[in-house]
């Protein structure tokens, strides 16, 4: 399909990776997300490599795009040039909830204001790809920021280098266990 080809092209031609600072993401500290922004302004929302789901050998039990009784991201139906029917998201809007076999639950937020173009239904059937290939086949969702906001969405976000520096500081500041 045209959308599948566009998504494939976008994942191959990502221009910049951005990382929301913890203050932008509702949730527990260190639940880092990554925004892969293509030159055509499309943003692919993924888990950052430091996210606990990718670090601690966790087993994903379920992924749920049902955000509330009245809101399911799976009900998002986009059509036409002007993307009619797309759900509008704020930066803090939850995209999905991920439950682990150890009882932990993680909420993945949009991190970007814009229209929800699609969610990755493949991770529902095969949650392991979220951990095996988080920045490609295991992405969470695709969001299209408003044209006039597409330049400003990166304000307050960390570059790859800044993000890596923060992760190193976190590791160095962890209390040692005896």
C-alpha to C-alpha distance for 60 and 76, rounded to whole angstroms: 24
Query: What structural domains and CATH numbers belong to the chain?
Result: 2-163 (2.40.50.100)
Cα-Cα-Cα-Cα dihedral sign, residues 23, 49, 163, 122 = negative
pLDDT at 99 over 90: yes
Pick the range with the lowest mean pLDDT from 9-23, 64-78, 81-95, 164-178: 9-23
C-alpha to C-alpha distance for 52 and 30, rounded to whole angstroms: 8
Instruction: Please state whether beta strands 94-100 and 114-119 pair in parallel, antiparallel, or not at all (unpaired).
Output: unpaired
Q: Residue 164 in contact with residue 171, Cβ under 8 Å?
A: no
pTM: 0.78
Number of H helices and E strands in the chain, helices first, is: 5, 12
Tell me the per-residue pLDDT of 115-163, one tens digit each, with 9 for 90 and over. 999 999 999 999 999 999 988 899 999 999 877 766 667 777 788 888 8
Tell me the per-residue pLDDT of 21-78, one tens digit each, with 9 for 90 and over. 654 444 456 788 888 888 788 889 999 888 888 877 889 999 999 888 888 888 877 7
**What pLDDT score was predicted for residue 13?**
53
Identify the residue with better confidence: 102 or 11. Answer: 102
């Amino acid at each position: 399909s045209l959308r599948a080809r566009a998504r494939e092209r976008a994942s191959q031609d990502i221009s910049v990776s951005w990382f929301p600072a913890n203050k932008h993401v509702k949730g527990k500290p260190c639940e880092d997300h990554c925004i892969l922004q293509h030159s055509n302004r499309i943003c692919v929302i993924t888990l950052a490599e430091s996210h606990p789901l990718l670090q601690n050998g966790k087993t994903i039990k379920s992924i749920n795009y049902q955000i509330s009784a009245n809101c399911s991201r799976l009900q998002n139906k986009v059509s036409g040039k002007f993307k009619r029917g797309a759900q509008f998201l704020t930066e803090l809007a939850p995209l999905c909830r991920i439950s682990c076999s150890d009882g932990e639950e993680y909420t993945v937020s949009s991190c970007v204001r814009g229209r929800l173009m699609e969610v990755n239904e493949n991770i529902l059937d095969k949650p392991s790809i979220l951990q095996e290939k988080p920045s490609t086949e295991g992405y969470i969702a695709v969001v299209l920021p408003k044209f006039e906001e597409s330049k400003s969405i990166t304000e307050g976000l960390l570059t790859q280098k800044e993000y890596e520096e923060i992760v190193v500081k976190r590791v160095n500041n962890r209390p040692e266990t005896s």
